[in-house]
Amino acid sequence: MKLLFATNNSHKLREIREIAGKDYQILSLNDVNMATDIPETRDTLEDNARQKAQFIYDKTGFSSFADDTGLEVDALDGRPGVYSARYAGEGCSFDDNVSKILEELDTIENRKACFRCVVCLILDGNEYLFEGRIPGEISRERRGTDGFGYDPVFQPDGHIQTFAEMPPHLKNGISHRGIAASKMFRFLQKK
Ligand code: ITT
Query: What DSSP string describes 14-50?
Result: HHHHHHH-TT-EEE-TGGGT---PPP---SSHHHHHH
Catalytic amino acids? 68
| SS3 category, 122 | strand
Name the band, by pLDDT with cuts 50, 70 and 90, for residue 35: confident
Is the beta carbon of 150 within 6 A of some atom in ligand 1?
yes
Choice from 8, 9, 101 to test ligand 1 binding pocket (greatest atom count within 8 A of CB): 9
- Side chain identity at residue 147, one-letter code: G
Q: 104: how many CB neighbours lie within 10 A of its CB? A: 16
- Which of 68, 100, 101, 103 minimizes the C-alpha distance to 82? 68
Is the beta carbon of 171 within 6 A of some atom in ligand 1?
no
Calpha distance 109→165 (Å, rounded): 23
What is the reported pLDDT for 115?
98
The stretch 2-29 carries a mean pLDDT of 96
The stretch 171-186 carries a mean pLDDT of 98
Half-sphere exposure of 9 (CA within 13 A, CB side): 15
What is the reported pLDDT for 8?
93
Q: Domain spans of the chain?
A: 2-190
What is the reported pLDDT for 118?
98
The stretch 166-172 carries a mean pLDDT of 98
**What is the tens place of the pLDDT at every residue in 103-132?**
999 999 999 999 999 999 999 999 999 999
Query: Hey, CA dihedral for 87, 89, 90, 95, is it positive or negative?
Result: negative
Name the band, by pLDDT with cuts 50, 70 and 90, for residue 36: confident
**What is the tens place of the pLDDT at every residue in 39-79?**
999 999 999 999 999 999 999 999 999 999 999 999 999 99
What is the architecture of the domain spanning 2-190? Alpha-Beta Complex (3.90)
- Given a cut of 90, whether residue 142 has pLDDT beyond it is yes
The stretch 176-180 carries a mean pLDDT of 98
Contact 161, 155 (CB under 8 A): yes
Is the beta carbon of 130 within 6 A of some atom in ligand 1?
no
Calpha distance 69→84 (Å, rounded): 8
Query: Hey, CA dihedral for 133, 135, 141, 146, is it positive or negative?
Result: negative
For a pLDDT cut of 70, what percent of the chain falls above it?
A: 100
What is the reported pLDDT for 71?
98
pTM above 0.85, yes or no: yes
62 alpha carbon to ligand 1 midpoint, in Å? 23
What is the reported pLDDT for 77?
98
What is the reported pLDDT for 191?
86
